[in-house]
Amino acid sequence: MRALFNAARTGIAEVRVHKMRSVLSFMAIAVGSVVFIDSFATIVSTYDRLQKQKEVSGIARLKITQDYDQTNSNPDEYTPPPNITYETAMSLKSKLPGLYMVSPEFQNWRNTLEFEGKRVVTTINGVTPEWAKRDFVYKLKGRFLDWQDLENKLRVCVLVRKAVPPPSNELTKTRMKQWNYTAAFDVLVSHNDMLGKTVKIDGVTFTVVGILEELSPSKQPDLIMPQARDYKVLAPATTLAHYGFFDEEYDSLDLNVDAGDENNFEESLKLIENFLKIRFGGDEFFMIDNQMETINEAIDASVKQSLVTISLGMLAFLAGGIGIMNITLATVFARTKEIGIRRAVGATRGDIMLQFIVEAAMLGLIGGVLGSGLGYLWGVPVKELLGMGASPIKPWMPAVSVLIAAFTAFVFALYPAWVAASLKPADALRTE
């Protein structure tokens, strides 16, 4: 312990005497520390985002739609695919109760919505309460659709209120202007408290039971699957069928399914295919889009990106470590005579090694602290100033960075310290 203390004292004296050399060593490690903290923050934010995305979007997702692309050589043998109906969805849900979500969906375009004498063009989606189980990036005012609404085909609806686009998004603004996009529906819903009021959609009166307020872009978790989520009005699928918004004889629903457990995904997929075969005499009429693969690819891509980022951080430390090694080796050669003197008065090889290692570790420690400060400055105020968004720097990141900096310096000082300790006292003393 005393030897360590003595080595530390000598180290402090060396740092003070050789200011330029010390500053160069600090900087070598400090740069590594800055990059490392930035990498860490990026990885943590990527991981957090992925976790949120998984929670919101789920992983074991698939989408069943009609497949019109059957390749029959003889057009006379072509059989149009059967329609997916609300009843199909309910049957699938009851046959496979292990599925987390079976959400049938139908979209009708160019409907007219009337409210207090104002008329706007909108779209309407026929859904069930299952719709809200995934990709729900809204704040709900009032209530969402429930099973009673569907069973009783009630004329109730939920309106979607768009988030205010970020003010910096000038490009979107310009494009919206170019396309003469007035977003009348969005303006109507934003400017009026329509909860509990009645609206007319294509002449049918609906009561607004809920408003879905889209979260602001900064609070909105990114969805793993980029989907066209241009929802405006949601109503019970059964109500829309009953009032002729779609005809189950001609129109088919899409089925969004979440198997829930990714481990049982393959089994669920087989059961669904089996269900379709039994019900429709074959599953070739349907396209089952395995979204889990896409989602996993997206996750893998994020993980790979994180690995690249952390590799950059490690490379920066490696460069810093090589800098420390280089400077320590130069120090050993410059202080060969001193090593000889210390050996002559009784220093062991261990004492000499300890001295150089402690000196380098101190440089690493100081560099790490300096780098952590710079890393915070770069990650928070500077990035915000540059409009890059502050990095989520957690208190443990600078602490880990300082430890890694000291450890890197320690590891890279081992060789120069060994060189110093291996010098024969008589040879070292002869050096001028």
Partner 1 sequence: MSISCSDLSKTYEGGHAGWPALRGVSFEIKPGEFVAVTGPSGCGKSTLLNILGLLDEPSGGRYLLNGRSILEMSDGERSDFRRDELGFIFQSFNLLNRLPAADNVCLPMMYAGIPRAEMHHRAHELLAKVGLKGKEKKTPLELSGGERQRVAIARALANAPKILLADEPTGNLDSASSREIMDALLKLHAEGITVIMVTHDRELAARAQRNLRMKDGRLEE
| Sign of CA pseudo-dihedral 216, 218, 219, 223 | positive
Nearer to partner 1 among residue 404 and residue 428 (C-beta): 428
Q: Which residues pair with 233 in a beta bridge?
A: 124, 159
d(CA 213, CA 334): 70
Look at the chain and count its residues.
432
Q: What are phi and psi of 416, to 5 degrees?
A: -60, -35
Nearer to partner 1 among residue 2 and residue 110 (C-beta): 2
Nearer to partner 1 among residue 12 and residue 183 (C-beta): 12
State the residues that interact with partner 1 by CB under 8 A. 2-3, 6, 13, 17, 337-338, 340-351, 424-426, 429
Nearer to partner 1 among residue 61 and residue 342 (C-beta): 342
Closest CA to 175 of 186, 183, 187, 185: 183
Q: Which helix (H) or strand (E) holds 188?
A: helix 184-191
Rounded to the nearest whole angstrom, what is the least distance from the CB of residue 353 to partner 1 in the complex? Answer: 12
Rounded to the nearest whole angstrom, what is the least distance from the CB of residue 336 to partner 1 in the complex? Answer: 12
d(CA 255, CA 86): 9
Nearer to partner 1 among residue 151 and residue 427 (C-beta): 427
Rounded to the nearest whole angstrom, what is the least distance from the CB of residue 20 to partner 1 in the complex? Answer: 15
Cα radius of gyration rounded to whole Å, the chain: 33
Tokens encoding 330: 């130069």
Instruction: Say how many C-beta atoms besides its own lie within 10 A of residue 407's C-beta.
Output: 16
Rounded to the nearest whole angstrom, what is the least distance from the CB of residue 320 to partner 1 in the complex? Answer: 27
Strands 138-142 and 198-201: unpaired
Nearer to partner 1 among residue 190 and residue 422 (C-beta): 422
Rounded to the nearest whole angstrom, what is the least distance from the CB of residue 417 to partner 1 in the complex? Answer: 15
Asked if 276 and 81 touch (Cβ cutoff 8 Å), the reply is no
Rounded to the nearest whole angstrom, what is the least distance from the CB of residue 357 to partner 1 in the complex? Answer: 16
